[in-house]
């Protein structure tokens, strides 16, 4: 099964080139060109990783991150931000969960690939931890029974 990537960016030749490269590396890349559709997709079918390009319409990168960080149960999808030619200082303000990297133009496809490999390993580790926690909460596959202190 291919790793699911959601790439939210305005239409461009760079987007097409990155998607072609990632598809050739075995990723299943889905695209959207606005923040509202991106967030809907995140809720419906969370991908393994999310790539956000600065300049995204209808809420932008800041809006998506605010919603991802603000929901009752935060969305644990690693995010890579493609920051155009923004200053390092402005991109550093975006760092923190769930952002794992901010890349400035020109972004080489291999740089993006390295970030996605890291995101995959992080996603796998988080899934394994959740399975372990779930199994610990259900000994022998059953819900823990309330304990009585009665004698």
Closest of 24, 88, 25, 37 to residue 7, by C-alpha: 37
Q: Supply the pLDDT for residue 137.
A: 66
Task: Supply the Cα-derived Rg of the chain in whole angstroms.
Answer: 18
DSSP state for residue 146 in the 8-state scheme? P
Question: pLDDT truncated to tens, each residue of the chain (151 aa)?
Answer: 789 999 999 888 889 999 999 999 999 999 999 999 999 999 999 999 999 998 888 888 989 998 888 866 677 899 999 987 777 777 777 878 899 999 988 899 999 999 999 998 887 777 677 777 776 666 565 555 545 444 4
Q: In what order do the strands lie in the sheet with 49-53?
A: 27-32, 3-8, 49-53, 79-82, 99-103
Q: Supply the pLDDT for residue 27.
A: 96
Q: Supply the pLDDT for residue 71.
A: 67
Q: Supply the pLDDT for residue 75.
A: 79
Q: Supply the pLDDT for residue 144.
A: 53
Peptide bond into 144 cis (omega under 30): no
């Amino acid at each position: 099964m291919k790793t699911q990537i959601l790439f939210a960016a305005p239409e461009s030749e760079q987007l097409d080139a990155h998607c072609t490269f990632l598809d050739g590396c075995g990723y299943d890349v889905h695209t959207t060109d606005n923040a509202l559709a991106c967030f809907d997709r995140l809720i419906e079918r969370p991908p393994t990783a999310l790539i956000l390009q600065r300049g995204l319409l209808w809420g932008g990168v800041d809006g998506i991150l605010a919603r991802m960080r603000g929901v009752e149960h935060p969305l644990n999808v690693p995010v890579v931000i493609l920051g155009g030619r923004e200053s390092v200082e402005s991109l550093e303000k975006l760092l923190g969960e769930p952002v794992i990297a901010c890349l400035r133009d020109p972004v080489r496809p291999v740089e993006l690939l390295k970030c996605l490999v890291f995101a995959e390993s992080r996603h796998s580790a988080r899934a394994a931890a959740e399975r372990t926690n779930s199994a610990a909460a259900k000994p022998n596959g059953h819900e823990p029974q309330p304990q009585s202190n009665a004698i």
